[in-house]
């Protein structure tokens, strides 16, 4: 039995849809958010959505921002229902942030 394309897996499809939602909201808010990691590769590469060396599940979404847009990024994510992980962000906030969504997991 052939393995299902990664993109067709419901959890991955939802992750890629959510990544698209975040990127669209960042554009509307004039905030430059860029995606990294497996979901970002799959968003741009059909090959990464099929079984093979690049195919895998996406347990979270990895994003990168310009440090100067931290506040605006927090606003974009809050507008999408993401809540900051206060403890993680207090310790790592200078270089990394984490946000959680009750349905979509964390970024």
pLDDT in tens, 8-22: 567 778 888 999 999
Phi, psi of 33 (to 5 degrees): -115, 130
Count Cβ atoms below 10 Å from residue 4 Cβ, excluding itself.
13
Measured distance CA(80)–CA(69) in Å, rounded: 17
Of 67, 81, 71, 84, give the one whose Cα is nearest residue 29: 71
Q: Whole-prediction pTM value?
A: 0.83
Higher-pLDDT residue of 51, 39: 39
> Is the model's pLDDT at 51 over the cut of 70?
no
Q: Which tens digit of pLDDT belongs to each residue from 69-107? A: 999 999 999 999 999 999 999 999 989 999 999 998 889
Measured distance CA(79)–CA(36) in Å, rounded: 21
Q: Which tens digit of pLDDT belongs to each residue from 29-49? A: 999 999 998 888 888 777 766
Q: Work out whether strand 83-84 and strand 99-101 pair parallel, antiparallel, or are unpaired.
A: antiparallel
């Amino acid at each position: 039995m052939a393995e299902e394309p990664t993109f067709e897996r419901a959890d991955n499809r939802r992750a890629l849809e959510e990544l698209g939602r975040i990127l669209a909201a960042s554009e509307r808010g004039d905030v430059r958010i860029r995606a990294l990691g497996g979901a970002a590769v799959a968003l741009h590469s059909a090959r990464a959505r099929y079984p093979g060396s690049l195919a895998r599940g996406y347990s979270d979404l990895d994003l990168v921002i310009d440090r100067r847009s931290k506040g605006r990024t927090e606003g974009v994510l809050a507008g999408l229902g993401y809540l900051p992980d206060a403890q993680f962000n207090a310790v790592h906030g200078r270089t990394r942030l984490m946000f959680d969504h009750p349905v979509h997991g964390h970024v």
